[in-house]
Amino acid sequence: MLFEPSHLPVAIVIVGPTASGKTSLSLLAARHFHTSIISADSRQCYREMNIGVARPSEAELSECRHYFINSHSIHEKVDTVVFEQEALAAAETIFNENKVVIVTGGTGLYVKVFCEGIDDIPLTDPAVKDIVEQAWKQGGIARLQEWLNEIDPAFLMQMKEKGNRARMMRAIEVRLSSGKSILEFREGAKKKRPFAIKKVGIHWPREQLYQRINNRVEDMMGSGLLKEAETLYPFRHLKALQTVGYQELFDYLDSKYSLDEAVEKIKQHTRNFAKRQMTWFRKDPDITWASYDHWLKELRT
């Protein structure tokens, strides 16, 4: 069941790949339980980004209170630490008035942080971050792998996603800043939350999901994604804009591709992203998977 009685407040966490219907299902759930939504999306929090991150429409946002959407600027630093603090504060506020909160988003790490917390890994020197960033820009993933193999081979060996740039860069930064492997800061224990957690995942057959993704990209282009990318082009170096949908159009604006080629690359890269999302979520045994229609039926019974 989507919701079962509990003596504790309950966070219903709705996950799934991009274009799976998380927004519409979360709105239906919020309406059903007369509650609010906390977004676990690492890009929808930025006010300047709208079409390219599939942010809920103004009409959808007006249906109920949303947290961590339109809450920050692309010029601000937003990471898992910021998200955990703000999401837990939002949950506490919601639970003061309601026994249920809806959490939804496709950023697997944000979902994990909300449910389990994060290890107390030290901050890194900004100068070190710049050095690592330059190494990636000059040598790509291969350079990061080579560097990790030199300074933290244990971390590189345990990595399942060898192409995860963000994780590799973070590991290098921690090693250079603290002199210790990032593995030494991992406690491995989940933090106890003062509320119950129910995780539900939306499943689609692959071909249907890919068609939904392709259709969404076409809809985004028809809604003005290119114009939005042109507006954001001066800030393309910011981390927030290293995002599928914008990067390809920035390349088009730099005359690297034709517009048609850029759109096809957006579709392809979004499909690749959806695959990575599912790889992440499938590792979580606590997620109950079912079709969108199944969850819809449960909310209506």
For the chain, how many residues are written?
Answer: 301
Q: Any idea where the domains of the chain sit in the sequence?
A: 10-119+190-206+277-300, 126-185, 223-272
Distances (CA, A) of 183 to 111, 121, 162, 187, 253: 21, 10, 16, 9, 41
Could you check whether 10-119+190-206+277-300 and 126-185 share the same CATH topology? no
Distances (CA, A) of 141 to 18, 168, 236, 239, 255: 25, 9, 20, 17, 24
Q: Which fold has domain 126-185?
A: Histone, subunit A (1.10.20)
> Tens of pLDDT along the chain (301 residues)?
565 656 789 999 999 999 999 999 999 999 999 999 999 999 999 999 999 999 999 999 999 999 999 999 999 989 888 999 999 999 999 999 999 999 999 999 899 999 999 877 777 777 888 899 889 889 999 999 999 999 999 988 888 777 788 889 989 998 998 888 988 877 667 888 999 999 999 999 999 999 999 999 999 999 999 999 999 999 999 989 999 999 999 999 999 999 999 999 999 999 999 999 999 999 999 999 999 999 999 888 7
Confirm or reject CATH 1.10.460.10 for domain 10-119+190-206+277-300, answering yes or no: no
Q: Is 0.75 surpassed by the pTM of this model?
A: yes
